Structure 1
Amino acid sequence: MPRPQRPGRPAGTGLRRAARTRPRRLARTATVLAAAFALLPLVDSAGAAPAAPRTAAAADVTVRVNTQASLGRLTDVARGVNAAVWDAHMNDPEVAGLMKAADVGAMRYPGGSYADIYHWETHTAPGGYVAPGTGFDAFMGTVRAAGAQPILIANYGSGTPEEAAGWVRYANITKDYGAKYWEIGNEIYGNGHYGNGWEHDEHEDKSPREYARQVRAYAKAMKAVDPTIKIGAVLTTPGHWPDGVVGEGDPGDWNHTVLSEVTDVIDFVSVHWYAGGADTTAEDAMARLAGLPGELREVRAQIDRYAGADSPRIGIALTEINTNTGGARLTARPNGLFAADAFLTALENGVFTVDWWNTHNGAGQITTVDGETDYGDMGMLSNGTCTGDVCEPPPNTPFHPYYGMKMTAELGTAGDTMVATASSGQDVSAHAVHRRDGRLSVLLVNKDPDAARTVDLEYAGFTPSGAVPEVSRYARGDSDVTDVTGGEASASRVTVPPYAMLAVTLTPKAGTGPGASAAGTPGTPRLEAATDTTARLTWPGAEGAARYLVQERDGAHTRLVGEATGTSVTLRNLPPGSTHTVNVLAADASGRLSAPSVPLTFTTGTPSDAACAVTYRRDTGWGNGFVATVTVRNLSDTPITGWTVDWEWPTDRQSVASGWSATFHQTGRHVRVTAPEGAGPLAPDGGSAVSFGFVGANDGPNPDPRVFRLNGTVCSSG
């Protein structure tokens, strides 16, 4: 939680993020009946629905939208904000109206690190400042007026399971507030266990194992009062400190230790994401956002590892996000672009709520960005504070990040389906939502401060009507999200001004799209069983379905990989250790397709009867580096002389820095390790093993390699 600034109080009062010294760092073929292809909608040779003729001038960027590739559905808490008890403007009447206008569905309370010193019943935070009028009932008045839901943080640092259970009783039994989401503490990994501490924690044992034990105790006490609530545990974001750090006496780092002991009692995990510190430029922040999908995939992979088949039940909440914690470039236009891009990027990658830090925060470092004063305030709304003789506008004046969030509401609401997009331009981001009424909304974000971008729009699975699209814009000169319908925008081409956002909503051509199909949408598929080369999928059936198509997504393209008349299919000839994302669509008797199911991502394993076995173990880590040991056994019946071991890193920001007991060579993601000169043969039948080690580097998440090959043969791994 960043530092609050309040009129009339000295800077530095209370808990704050800015004051802490915190380490930072930044194929396959399936057998498919040929007749299945007849079920696909008419497309051109590129797989896109025919578009309107283009003008002669070439476009700068091409954006492809594929409505047959679902990225998941928007939830009723998709857009959220944080609210802090030190914020005297938290419950101003204007706040609820502004949040409602932006379709904010979640408000998190009582405010970051304050949660671990805050006692709800007495409305006190020993060692910190609590503003008048910010008690729980007042907060809930704002939440209800905004049409939102609370996300509540139970006090772990100085509280008890009994205190938390009392809060649940008051909220949901006494007052009938229906508070659903409850986190156990905030950023508890920052309690000093790893040598750097900002989070208040009075437990004598500050290890991740003790936190896991306490999460179980909190969950038991709180769900005894209301079994319908959802309990969330705190994780660190992969690739961010202290990810990979193993404390003295711990069996693993924070995430692996906690998840190994709590997946049966939690309902979601809570992670935070900031783009950097005081030296982070707007361009840096928007570029670093490209790493967020991989980090979220690693969170899901960690949950999968420990929860197994129960993993889909456990959600991911991104309960704090902003550009940086350094106090500059925060209220300016580029942070508004970042906000829109960040909200949708996170939601498209498996997060059910994204909560901006903060509703109000306070003036910090004053700079000039894009010709405007930047107040260094991490809030979405002004709180009227000053830095020196420079004062913010009146309280509750929206800053650019508010309008970034509000632009995302132009795409759709709870239950609408996010679909895949791909942009050919590095400085133009694209996001799309296929609405339940059949309309398609596309958001384009032009991150170039100097030049407009002309964008050609291409579609797969969607045919626009000839109607003029609805267009909303937030650009220089706009004081709010502005309706600009009736301009030069068409279904096939739009122009986005520099440093601006444009939302285009299209109606489907009559008789096309999922609305024309008699088949309903299939349920979410699940992985029933998998080997190294096969995967058996099942899904809840859809009314009116004559058959089902399984399509794999690659960016904004899809390809048919399986079809069935029932509600299961086995995909074959998959590469070992490969990851796949699929949707299921239903076809009615006339071959018309439904909307796609929620996606499923799965990874195949390695062969259990391989002629070799490899064990990969990370011995230690420090956030952006690690030490690993690899052990290889020859399980064949003949000795192997002159061995090589190969693997591919899962990300392009992992590397071998130095190693021992072998020779290492890396090209791109590929690593080849060669036996040292004079090495003896690998004995057959597992009679002996060879081990080598290395120091690795990682900039971002550090997932383990999935497949190892000994002299070209895929090995079993574990």
Structure 2
Amino acid sequence: MTPRRAALLVPALAAALLAAPPSQAQPGADVEVTVNARAGLEAVGDAAIGVNHAIWDSQLGTPEVADLLRGAGIQAMRYPGGSYSDIYHWRDHTAPGGYVAPGTDFDTFMAGVRRAGGQAMVTANYGTGTPEEAAAWVRYANVEKGYGVQYWEIGNELYGNGHYGAEWEADEHPDKSPAGYANLVKEYALAMKAVDPGIQVGAVLTTPGEWPDGITAAGDAGPWNEVVLSVAGPHIDFVILHWYPAGGSGAATLARADHAPVMVRMAREQIARHAGKDLGIAFTELNTTYGRNTQPGALFAADAYASLLANGVFNVDWWNVHNGMGNVTTVAGHTDYDDFGLLSSGNCSADGTVCQPALNTPFAPYHALAMTSRLAEPGDQFVAAASSDPMVKAHATRKADGGLAVMLVNRDPENAKTVALDYAGYSPAASAEVLSHGNGDTAITTTTGASASVAVEPYSITTLLLRPTAEVTGPAAPARPTATATDRTATLTWPAAAPGVKYEIHRQSGAHTEQWGETTGTSFTVHNLTPSTRYTVNLIARDGAGKVSWASPPVEFTTATPATSTCAVRLTDVTNWGNGYVGNVDITNTGTRPVDSWTLAFDWPTGWQRVDSGWNATWTQTGATVRVANADGNRVIAPGETVTAGFVASYHGPNVPPRVFTLNGTHCTTR
């Protein structure tokens, strides 16, 4: 087939007319949720929902625990457990300086993995080990025993080896810098893949927005991620992030789940910029700092897992299966043992006055993972879902068997909500299977309800499992397109699929889509785009009978800054300390006339960034908008001249740079 290039103008009126119809609210509904099956997100792999196992846990690999994990739909299990990974020697099953419980060796772990029906994520010892020791482990696991372990991490949180001042991770290497780690990762990867070329090897990164992300230590060429990706990127297959968001209340903890999409996007941008290729992303440790084994932890788990997976993270592992009692408090009316575990350790406080439930009793996050596993099974595809109420988070998947699942997380601890659901690109049957887990529940309740409306309890997770009104088989989903963009145009390309189909091009806008056009070819060019703007686009194939496919995986691209402008701006991070930085803004007059009196304006991309102070200009911030007005000494910018204003900024999440700068209303080129 000869490619036929299509072009389309996208005025605002046409975009509005092509948008998905608004939700038809049910009478008395508190919340409107829109689910758009045309707006495809990422697919769910076979290692998506995971947990951590630790060699100091005497229950590791036992039949009871394996059966509980299988019952929750756990797909991956990580071993040998956090920082113990960097002191653990697999062959003799020792961890000098730490406790190793009896019956927790690698073979016992693998027996539990197999009984649970999952797969392993194994962390090779970097801190006190060698590439040869790791390669021997691969040989034992995959050649001698035939376990088929695919995913291998190189060490745990090595940025905690003292290089940035804090030291909790064992690292006996004289060079503790990111370059030292990255160069040895290359040796590990080469040695391990020489034994089994089919494995995937992962390297440790810092999580965007979490310490020590963005910090450049003395003598380093850049922050940890920049150096590790530049050096080790060609030799690895995925990157490893850990996330323990801070929060002293349920509201603060649950709000942190909103950071997930931004974290993943920033990680992808760093990978593309410094590794020059696509790498998988795994969050191999995740937990909270508040309500760890009560409902806030459960709500956070469900929301965070769904958000991360919808954005293409292939593996998320809860820390931990068992952990033990900490500081006992009451959270949302229930006893919280400050326990990182999914299951009770059955222990008591030092004075014996408070005891946990019986050993292996599931805590609330266990039920959250069980609920999420029903939402996101291997082979499913996330699709866009949006809620009119920020207290009710919505996630949805199109099921491999043709069904649809919608998960609603009510973060309101006091109020029940009636939710009206509207569906685009999918026609559900009138009834639905409804799964629910409320505050204090010890199990998941299953009932039959309506697909168009559901009542959700305060502090609850509710999942609707729907079937279509009629089974429809359409063409195969197109492959993910690629995009090449200028400041105002983008050309999408994709491989040819079955003959005789047309491809619809859909731009996502929240849970709505705008159809940009269609073509029988394998490329499409769109014009009149906005500079410095991020776009997300799917393809849908339609055959001659009008049957349509699932949406392709999305492609995301950002148009360039204006190709021509009378101003240019460069924002520089001069000194970063992990939750704030000193920055400079350089403003250049690229026009032919002097600028006499100026105001630079930009918006922070998130609600957790702000300017605290500034100099060489008057700095103000209202909401997310920052305005920088000239001082008396730099009021005039001559053609070709650059003026600089400095500032101190703070952030408590991913530090996303602004995309659009305007000088006296003119959109500037960003350098």
Would you say same fold, with TM above 0.5?
yes
Q: What's the offset of the Cα at 1:476?
A: 5.5
Q: Does 1:124 align with 2:87?
A: no
Q: What's the offset of the Cα at 1:609?
A: 5.0
The 3 A distance-change label for structure 1 pair 636 and 130 is same
Cα distance between partner residues in 2 of 1:664 and 1:68: 43
Alpha-carbon displacement from aligned partner over 1:189-234 (angstroms, at most 9, x marks no partner): 1111111111111122211121222222221222222221111111
CA contact (8 A) 1:545 1:586 kept: no
Unaligned runs of 5+ in 1: 1-28
Q: Does 1:414 align with 2:389?
A: no
Cα distance between partner residues in 1 of 2:393 and 2:635: 54
* 1:565 alignment counterpart: 520
The correspondence of residues 275-424 of structure 1 with structure 2, limited to 5 A, is 275-276=245-246, 280-308=248-276, 310-311=277-278, 314-324=279-289, 329-387=291-349, 388-389=351-352, 390-424=354-388
Q: Does 1:717 align with 2:670?
A: yes
* AA partner of residue 362 (structure 1): G
The 3 A distance-change label for structure 1 pair 385 and 586 is same
Q: What's the offset of the Cα at 1:545?
A: 5.1
* AA partner of residue 441 (structure 1): A
The correspondence of residues 584-595 of structure 1 with structure 2, limited to 5 A, is 584-595=539-550
The 3 A distance-change label for structure 1 pair 477 and 360 is closer
* AA partner of residue 659 (structure 2): R
Q: Does 1:703 align with 2:656?
A: yes
* 1:160 alignment counterpart: 130
Identity of aligned residues (%): 52
The 3 A distance-change label for structure 1 pair 689 and 452 is closer
- The one of 414, 432, 447 aligned to 2:396: 432
Q: What's the offset of the Cα at 1:611?
A: 4.3
Alpha-carbon displacement from aligned partner over 1:619-653 (angstroms, at most 9, x marks no partner): 11111210112233333344444344333322232
* 1:506 alignment counterpart: 466
Unaligned runs of 5+ in 2: 1-6
Alpha-carbon displacement from aligned partner over 1:288-346 (angstroms, at most 9, x marks no partner): 222222222211221122244x22xx11111111111xxx6322233222222221122
Alpha-carbon displacement from aligned partner over 1:240-296 (angstroms, at most 9, x marks no partner): 11122221112222222222222222211111111326xx22232112222222222
Q: Does 1:68 align with 2:41?
A: no
CA contact (8 A) 1:520 1:544 kept: no
CA contact (8 A) 2:334 2:440 kept: no
* AA partner of residue 377 (structure 2): T
* 3-state SS in 2 of match to 1:260: helix
- The one of 473, 476, 486 aligned to 1:520: 476
* 2:560 alignment counterpart: 605
Cα distance between partner residues in 1 of 2:599 and 2:444: 59
Q: Does 1:575 align with 2:530?
A: yes
* AA partner of residue 293 (structure 1): P
* AA partner of residue 367 (structure 2): Y
* 1:465 alignment counterpart: 429
Cα distance between partner residues in 1 of 2:555 and 2:504: 14
The 3 A distance-change label for structure 1 pair 386 and 443 is same
* AA partner of residue 96 (structure 2): P
The 3 A distance-change label for structure 1 pair 510 and 287 is same
Cα distance between partner residues in 2 of 1:249 and 1:372: 50
Q: What's the offset of the Cα at 1:601?
A: 1.4
Cα distance between partner residues in 2 of 1:396 and 1:190: 31
* 2:208 alignment counterpart: 238
Cα distance between partner residues in 2 of 1:626 and 1:661: 17
The 3 A distance-change label for structure 1 pair 429 and 639 is closer
| Mean Cα deviation higher: 284-293 or 314-323 | 284-293
* AA partner of residue 191 (structure 2): A
Cα distance between partner residues in 2 of 1:392 and 1:333: 16
Cα distance between partner residues in 2 of 1:271 and 1:214: 19
Q: What's the offset of the Cα at 1:544?
A: 5.2
Alpha-carbon displacement from aligned partner over 1:40-81 (angstroms, at most 9, x marks no partner): 9xx9852x6xx7x95xx5022221111111121111111000
The 3 A distance-change label for structure 1 pair 498 and 679 is closer
* 3-state SS in 2 of match to 1:457: strand
The 3 A distance-change label for structure 1 pair 32 and 679 is closer
Q: What's the offset of the Cα at 1:681?
A: 4.7
CA contact (8 A) 2:152 2:200 kept: yes
* 2:437 alignment counterpart: 474
Q: Does 1:215 align with 2:185?
A: yes
The 3 A distance-change label for structure 1 pair 475 and 670 is closer
CA contact (8 A) 1:532 1:575 kept: yes
| Mean Cα deviation higher: 441-450 or 455-464 | 441-450
* 2:175 alignment counterpart: 205
* 3-state SS in 1 of match to 2:375: coil
* 3-state SS in 1 of match to 2:207: coil
Cα distance between partner residues in 1 of 2:20 and 2:198: 49
- The one of 227, 232, 251 aligned to 2:197: 227
Cα distance between partner residues in 1 of 2:320 and 2:227: 30
Cα distance between partner residues in 2 of 1:573 and 1:587: 26
* 1:546 alignment counterpart: 501
CA RMSD of aligned residues (A): 2.4
CA contact (8 A) 2:10 2:527 kept: no
* 3-state SS in 2 of match to 1:221: helix
Cα distance between partner residues in 1 of 2:20 and 2:234: 48
Q: Given the two structures, how large is their TM-score scaled by the length of structure 1? A: 0.87
* 1:24 alignment counterpart: none
Alpha-carbon displacement from aligned partner over 1:364-394 (angstroms, at most 9, x marks no partner): 2222334433222110011222113122223
* 3-state SS in 1 of match to 2:374: coil
* AA partner of residue 125 (structure 2): N
* AA partner of residue 198 (structure 1): W
- The one of 152, 156, 172 aligned to 2:142: 172
* 2:3 alignment counterpart: none
- The one of 23, 26, 31 aligned to 2:9: 31
Q: Count the aligned residue pairs.
A: 660
Cα distance between partner residues in 1 of 2:190 and 2:293: 42
| Mean Cα deviation higher: 237-246 or 705-714 | 705-714
The 3 A distance-change label for structure 1 pair 281 and 714 is closer
Cα distance between partner residues in 2 of 1:549 and 1:391: 59
* AA partner of residue 476 (structure 2): G
CA contact (8 A) 2:253 2:296 kept: no
Cα distance between partner residues in 2 of 1:678 and 1:504: 63
The 3 A distance-change label for structure 1 pair 503 and 704 is closer
- The one of 452, 456, 470 aligned to 2:416: 452
Q: Does 1:150 align with 2:150?
A: no
Q: What's the offset of the Cα at 1:355?
A: 0.5
Q: What's the offset of the Cα at 1:699?
A: 2.2
Cα distance between partner residues in 2 of 1:414 and 1:717: 41
* AA partner of residue 614 (structure 2): G
Cα distance between partner residues in 2 of 1:494 and 1:683: 63
* 3-state SS in 2 of match to 1:469: strand
